Structure 1
């Protein structure tokens, strides 16, 4: 027995000695560089592009199995002026041999030195990184290996442990050119190092690069990745820094990235200046805003969780200058997006972020607006994405300034799917009153349609108009109901499609800029026929009612009435919204004395029609002299009898009624008349 054991040990020792001798002798006897042509041929055959091993191959076997390659070049396909696709100055890997027998991989060094990638897109859209569309055949499912150790899961790593002392990519470079757009981008000084690379401990990551001249870095911990990489939760705790302005922290984990990938992350974007960021990006045009102090602070925090089927955002907080936005969101079924959003804004002044107003007389301010493009010239809007969308979103704003209007407690909810959406409600408080509105949008066809209702109560119209238009036009409490429909997606089409009706009611106010009592009392001055008054014209009222109907963009205001203890005014006519023209006739009637408006005379029943013409931007006011004369002297012969040889017959006028006397006093003063 001892004899057999002795010979067995001798045989085993001899076998091990022969293996060690072969390991030491083979690298010195075999010229590995003689295999370079075969290696180059096989790589070229597999990739379909030239491959060159420009430097020497260095192979070691014991105690470290090592391979060193230098000056590797993988070329671009034919047809590209950039001949190189990938170049590597030096590649080195060293793995300890003996631990391999126990299925443990110990890597002493894995270094890629000066890798360069040249990406080119030519003028026809072709790219040099396209490896072709041919795919290798899908391997057939193999039956489970009966020799698989008990307790080892299918798909597990073929080794038990992994340890890497040095993993580094040094001096990397990525160069991109788009010949069609004439765009060039470059990422240089790419450096990546991994420390403590193993399966059971967190891996330290250090990455840095220069992107188009701007620094970029990423540092942190990833893992442990576990003995089944790609399965289970992989923790993350990394910090990204860019452009010396942005710092973003990401903490959480990625779950089952191979089988059913998902993520659960906290994101924190530290406070930075968007203005400075754009400057760092090389934006030569400064950002011009009405308030130059905005866009100086932006900060974001949120929790992000998702998988291939859905993504949710919770605990979101966005701080922009003086405004704070809290939000949450969800999205699922990405082929037909189903979105849910909830946002709350404490306060925001949108006017501060608009371009600054041009000074009066500037070329930009006086330039004519370009004509609306024709239907054939204008690109057709594709509404199919909206037909695929489902949404349920709410927005609340505590304080909002828009177009100088000051709004409070703004609330809106939008819901819809299959191309039909409704905004219900849209409510807000403004100028001591409230507005409650509802809108329905239908994009099931290529012509969008909107149904809109608006109800306003107790709005101080004077302050609202003064803030928005910076003009004093009207005063009084406004109550209104409006219901209209419209169709189209251009201003012209929308104006022509307007249909509906509404009613505006102003109480205890005044029309600023029109002096209807003065038009009667001093008609020549009021209509520019005589010396004007130095006081600002206005017409006070107890009630102003403006009912209207809209038919294909033509607004009819028949039934409009202004009432006060001293004055009654009715109006009728139309406004063409498409042409922006006015054609309105106003008929005032005094029912009592005009005390308080500069008159002490009794004027009962005197009618002075007023015509309003022109455009919405420049309305014109003039007396309807023809109608006024015809109402008092319907007989043309009677009028001729009062004027003889171009002169007024005073005696004939004295024999007429009071209305005729007042008419001639107002416009054709009698000789000796001191009024």
Structure 2
């Protein structure tokens, strides 16, 4: 019996050595390019679009299952300006083999280099993303009717780790020919750090949006019950926003957030007013919207739980400057309060409190406002470009509506 186990152990060891040797040696002799036409055909069938790959392709099997593809091109339908809807300079992914046996996914590398996505809507209203993958959807629907679809549960994962996840030099272009609109995101880079099921994931994203630089850095952690953001920093133009937040009890939901913005010039983003352009205001009569006749559903507001804080150092809008904005928003059991709602305005201050009660059929609103010490002359000059009055503005009012 001992001799039998000995020989079984030897034979098993030989097979293991042969398997390891095979997975190391096979990629050296397998011509991956031979499968290129098949890959192109399968992707084209699945998407309903032309698809091509470059000749520079690599395959590895052990200790990392890896593939590297270059010059990926997914075509546009006829009638569109660009030849490709999607193109990628190179794509590389490497996955460790042995941990898969214990339901652990360990990815060494996932890199997407120079992806370009071109989205276009023609003057007749058709878009190049319409119909993408419809043939595959029809096939899936047929299989579902036959009862051959796979289980929704999928393969359980015990652990996940990704060492390097990067998207570099990305570009996204959106063109609407009918509306004469073109939006562009360029120099897009995305890096995810410390990807796992247990620890917060670091996210670093940077891009140029219509020529303006934007960057985001944060850490995200979540599971099926909650999600949270921490150490967030958003930089755009000359503004910097730090942020954190969380969400749980998604059926309510229960939300918290803390936003702190150093300053922002809204005039950079707001459209010019019609009075500045010299256009006369429109007085067209409009019929009341049908939706206005319908009763408002306050159910979502009754369930909402919210605790939010907003602080802004300086805001410019329509020429006027507001400073030291301080807002706290609370919501629970159908009662929403904004207290404080405070700001500094031209050597004066405004302090307000808002309370909205939607516990009953009809909402009840209470507003109190105390403004004092506001220099009217500089305010009018900045906001209206006119010197209408001089003096100090002061008011105190209380409103109750239901």
Q: TM-score range by the shorter chain?
A: 0.7 to 0.9
Distance 2:55 2:29 in 1: 20
1:200 to partner: Cα distance: 0.5
Q: Does 1:237 align with 2:230?
A: yes
1:242 to partner: Cα distance: 3.7
Task: Check whether the contact 2:51–2:75 (CA below 8 A) recurs between aligned residues.
Answer: yes
Select 2:343's aligned residue among 304, 312, 319: 319
Which structure has the greater CA radius of gyration? 1
Residue 301 of structure 2 corresponds to none
Q: 1:264 to 1:48 in 2, by over 3 A?
A: same
Q: 1:314 to 1:63 in 2, by over 3 A?
A: farther
1:262 to partner: Cα distance: 3.9
Distance 2:165 2:3 in 1: 51
Select 2:320's aligned residue among 294, 299, 311: 294
Distance 1:246 1:19 in 2: 58
1:324-361 Cα shifts (integer Å, max 9, x gaps): 444466889xxxx98776544332779737524499xx
Distance 1:183 1:206 in 2: 29
Q: 1:40 to 1:24 in 2, by over 3 A?
A: same
Residue 30 of structure 2 corresponds to 30
Superposed counterparts of 1:617-628, under 5 Å: none
Distance 1:96 1:157 in 2: 17
Residue 278 of structure 1 corresponds to 267
1:21-48 Cα shifts (integer Å, max 9, x gaps): 2212321232121111111111111111
Distance 1:238 1:9 in 2: 54
1:183-215 Cα shifts (integer Å, max 9, x gaps): 222111111111111110111111111111211
1:115 to partner: Cα distance: 1.0
Superposed counterparts of 1:57-136, under 5 Å: 57-131=57-131, 134=134, 135=137, 136=140
Distance 1:303 1:320 in 2: 19
Q: Does 1:345 align with 2:398?
A: no
1:86-120 Cα shifts (integer Å, max 9, x gaps): 11111111111111111111111111111111121
Residue 5 of structure 1 corresponds to 5
Residue 17 of structure 2 corresponds to 17
Task: Check whether the contact 1:92–1:109 (CA below 8 A) recurs between aligned residues.
Answer: yes
Distance 2:30 2:252 in 1: 47
Superposed counterparts of 1:77-476, under 5 Å: 77-131=77-131, 134=134, 135=137, 136-137=140-141, 139=144, 155=153, 158-223=156-221, 225=222, 229=223, 231-255=224-248, 260=251, 262=253, 264-274=255-265, 277-279=266-268, 281=269, 294-297=320-323, 299=325, 301-303=327-329, 317=341, 319=343, 321=345, 322-327=349-354, 343-347=367-371, 352=380, 355-357=384-386, 408-415=395-402
Distance 1:166 1:354 in 2: 50
Superposed counterparts of 1:448-597, under 5 Å: none
1:236 to partner: Cα distance: 1.2
Task: Check whether the contact 1:248–1:270 (CA below 8 A) recurs between aligned residues.
Answer: yes
Task: Check whether the contact 2:365–2:400 (CA below 8 A) recurs between aligned residues.
Answer: no
Task: Check whether the contact 1:262–1:305 (CA below 8 A) recurs between aligned residues.
Answer: no
Distance 1:180 1:144 in 2: 42
Q: 1:177 to 1:9 in 2, by over 3 A?
A: same
Task: Check whether the contact 1:67–1:94 (CA below 8 A) recurs between aligned residues.
Answer: yes
Q: 1:355 to 1:220 in 2, by over 3 A?
A: same
1:266 to partner: Cα distance: 1.1
Gaps of 5+ in 1: 146-153, 360-400, 416-675
Distance 2:184 2:335 in 1: 32
SS in 2 for 1:36: helix
SS in 2 for 1:166: strand
Task: Check whether the contact 1:115–1:172 (CA below 8 A) recurs between aligned residues.
Answer: yes
SS in 2 for 1:295: strand
Q: Report the aligned-residue RMSD.
A: 4.0
Task: Check whether the contact 1:301–1:316 (CA below 8 A) recurs between aligned residues.
Answer: yes
SS in 2 for 1:99: helix
Q: 1:300 to 1:172 in 2, by over 3 A?
A: farther
1:218-263 Cα shifts (integer Å, max 9, x gaps): 112111x3xxx4x111221152424333333332323377xx5845
Q: 1:114 to 1:405 in 2, by over 3 A?
A: same
Distance 1:88 1:68 in 2: 12
1:310-333 Cα shifts (integer Å, max 9, x gaps): 99675563536343444466889x
Task: Check whether the contact 1:57–1:68 (CA below 8 A) recurs between aligned residues.
Answer: yes
Residue 288 of structure 2 corresponds to none
1:245-287 Cα shifts (integer Å, max 9, x gaps): 3333332323377xx584512131424143xx434x59899x9
Moved more, 406-415 or 344-353: 344-353
Between the two proteins, the alignment pairs up a number of residues equal to: 345
SS in 1 for 2:49: coil
Distance 2:364 2:128 in 1: 41
Q: 1:266 to 1:61 in 2, by over 3 A?
A: same
Residue 543 of structure 1 corresponds to none
Distance 1:27 1:196 in 2: 30
1:65 to partner: Cα distance: 0.8
Task: Check whether the contact 2:213–2:236 (CA below 8 A) recurs between aligned residues.
Answer: yes
SS in 1 for 2:321: coil
Distance 1:347 1:255 in 2: 38
Q: 1:325 to 1:183 in 2, by over 3 A?
A: farther
Superposed counterparts of 1:626-665, under 5 Å: none
Distance 1:20 1:163 in 2: 24
SS in 2 for 1:49: coil
1:126 to partner: Cα distance: 1.9
Distance 1:330 1:129 in 2: 44
